[in-house]
Chain A
Amino acid sequence: MQAFTTLTGIVAPLDRANVDTDQIIPKQFLKSIARTGFGQNLFDEWRYLDEGQPGEDCSNRPKNPAFILNQSPYDQAQILLTRRNFGCGSSREHAPWALLEFGFRCVIAPSFADIFYNNCFKNGILPIILSEAQIESLFQQVLACKGEKFSVDLDKQILTMGVGDQLSFSVDSFYKERLLKGLDDIGVTLEQADAIRFYENKRKQERPWLFQ
């Protein structure tokens, strides 16, 4: 996994609450057996004016000019600012894959759905949770200053706005360490293979019906 240490990038404001993963990446694209190729279909039903098909070249599809990510400079954005409960619904990891491939490395919102939040960290994306009031103020700032860039320092847990104002954010050390170092989760867990085997043997004795 790609490590996340610091990032400076354009902030795209997506002013919607409860954005579900069906919107982030519609189901027809989930038929792929690859981990890549989803970026062009990120927010497909909002981004394009026609129905997208898997494997289709999107360069000639009619784009929705009103959608924020179709507008310059937001088509180059690396930070997504959005509203509460982002990523709700389906557990599809294709959602963070699509965000990442589009260019997003950071999503800022008042809250995230649990599975999506977890999936972000597995893919080198930092989800930052701030209060509703802070998010509202960031929206006003970003809308007032088109193409505003924010900087994120994960180690210091500081978000710096274009004007130099800073906000601190919290992130569990569990997630932070893995993201900073870009650790392979499976590798980390397998360092404790002996503990897993010990537990498993004990379980075989105590709950033998689970090992038929």
Chain B
Amino acid sequence: MTSGQTLYDKLWNEHLVVQRGDGSALIYIDRHLLHEVTSPQAFSGLKLAGRKPWRIDANLATPDHNVPTQDRDKPIVDEISRIQVQTLDENCAEWGITEFKMNDIRQGIVHVIGPEQGATLPGMTIVCGDSHTATHGAFAALAQGIGTSEVEHVLATQCLSQQKMKNYLVKVKGHLQPGVYSKDLILAIIGKIGTAGGNGYAMEFAGEAISDLSMEARMTLCNMAIEAGARVGLIAVDDKTIEYVKGRPFAPQGEQWIAAEKYWRTLVSDAHAVFDCVVEINASELIPQVSWGTSPEMVVAINARLPDPSDCAEKAESWQRAYDYMGLKPGMSMNDVTPDRVFIGSCTNSRIEDLRIAASVIKGRKKSPQVKQVLVVPGSGLVKQQAEAEGLDKIFIAADFEWREPGCSMCLAMNADRLQDKEHCASTSNRNFEGRQGYGGRTHLVSPAMAAAAAIAGKFVDVREFI
């Protein structure tokens, strides 16, 4: 009965509450992550309709988008941000929802703390009013970003009303070379299939290069499935998944652990599973990537010249617009671009391994004087604590990098961390959209290693030659 199912098929079937005649279904939601930006209207909608949350213990909240990354002992200076964070505190207090508040050591970016706490478990359905919820798919969880109306719907019903997606397989052969990371891999995949390539699909990543990856590297990969258009990213369960989850605060223990692990081991696509679309990539040939434009699909290998719009009629207009916005020209090398600021952080790349990699690149060196500022923003209070225990903070500070408090920070610049007009940034985040990191700001997406190397060199360089 189960032969020929994809991982997504299995997760979907497991959570099916009602299949409706019109092709839609109700699927049950095991975990609902909340943050301050997309939840206030959902809570007020709930109240307005006289409804209450269906199942309190399925929810976990933390403020991340708005929180400042320094002076956390003082109230948030920006009044509108302060009110939004307070509103989350009040809503969670009113309903008894577990919240890691701003100054709780467990606070952090919602997609970092879920896995860190074991609140993200294999086989779960996970939603959050944030598109990067795809991150949790690294645990073979059916995880997706939802809008605020759906946040309210999940609060009220513990279900999502939706249609089944199609199955997409990204098969990654070979092995990533030293200095090349899962961030480079996902950027290359997006460059290949485009930002709409995965629209309508759940995207599973498989192959020997994926098996090689650590859980944190897998999270980076699934995190950016949404940048390839796929609302859901997925990776099958293996020994690494089980090991990562074991012993975490929300993870099962004792007999329940044994039962859970037995079930989790089944969370793989069957050998004969049929996918609606398959793309193959060879990891062995991959070179570190850097984005040059205003869409995550506008990427090049660090050693390549920037593309000529006249070579691609279909995209010529958007490429030209991107060049104008970015202040770059076709044929240039990214080696000629100096980042004004460097940002190491975000739900894509702010975990302990990311910080270890960045620190290993810069150890004993200093920030280039051409670079105005380097922000290192750990993904959670616990990541920060671990990094400090390992002395990574001292390496960053010795290099004239700034060591900050956890949050989303300059990934989307809702707090005070932002680019100035026309500034270039080497950023480990996930989106290079116009103005994303600050009004008029110019984002270049890279791996933590590439960002660290750019900070030291004062220009974008191939980190493989830099180490």
Chain A residues at the B interface, C-beta cutoff of 8 Å: 16-18, 20, 22-23, 26-28, 30-35, 45, 51, 54-55, 84-85, 88-93, 96, 111-115, 118-119, 122-123, 172-174, 177, 184-186, 188-190, 192-193, 195-196, 199-200, 203, 207-212
Contacts and interface: CB of A to CB of B under 8 A. Distances in A.
Interface string B50-62: 0100110100000
Nearest to A189: B157
B121 A115 contact: no
Name the residue in B23, B57, B199 with the highest tally of chain A Cβ atoms < 10 Å from its Cβ.
B199
Contact of B147 (A84, A91, A195, A210): A91
B98 interface: no
B188 to A, nearest CB: 18
Interface of B: 17-18, 20, 22-24, 26, 28, 30, 37-38, 40-41, 44-45, 49, 51, 54-55, 57, 65-66, 78, 80-81, 83-84, 87, 121, 123-124, 129-131, 145-150, 152-153, 156-159, 161-163, 195-196, 199-200, 226-227, 229, 231, 250, 252, 256-257, 259-260, 263, 295, 297, 315, 317-318, 321, 412-414, 431, 433-436, 439-440
Contact of A111 (B121, B123, B199, B297): B199
Nearest to B51: A186
B196 A85 contact: yes
Contact of B153 (A30, A111, A186, A207): A186
Given A23-B434, A118-B162, 13 more contacts: A22-B436, A30-B65, A33-B40, A33-B83, A33-B84, A92-B38, A186-B156, A188-B161, A189-B159, A190-B156, A196-B157, A209-B259, A210-B121
Contacts, number: 188
Nearest to B144: A115
Contact of B26 (A34, A115, A184, A189): A189
B22 A172 contact: yes
B195 A196 contact: no
A115 B413 CA distance: 22
Given A17-B318, A195-B18, A211-B57, A22 B434 contact: yes
A192 B26 contact: yes
B295 A18 contact: yes
B161 A189 contact: yes
Top 3 A-B residue pairs of the complex, sorted by shortest distance between their CB atoms: A209-B252, A93-B147, A122-B149
A30 B145 CA distance: 16
A69 to B, nearest CB: 17
Given A111-B196, A119-B147, A173-B23, A22 B431 contact: yes
Contacts of A190: 156-157
A28 B413 CA distance: 8
A192 B18 CA distance: 8
B343 to A, nearest CB: 15
A185 B45 CA distance: 12
A11 to B, nearest CB: 20
A115 B433 contact: no
Contact of A88 (B80, B156, B162, B196): B196
Given A195-B26, A211-B57, A185 B195 contact: no
Contacts of A20: 295, 431, 433
A120 to B, nearest CB: 9
Given A91-B129, A93-B149, A113 B414 contact: no
A111 B195 CA distance: 12
B393 to A, nearest CB: 28
A196 B23 contact: no
Name the residue in A35, A115, A193, A211 with the highest tally of chain B Cβ atoms < 10 Å from its Cβ.
A115
Nearest to B17: A199
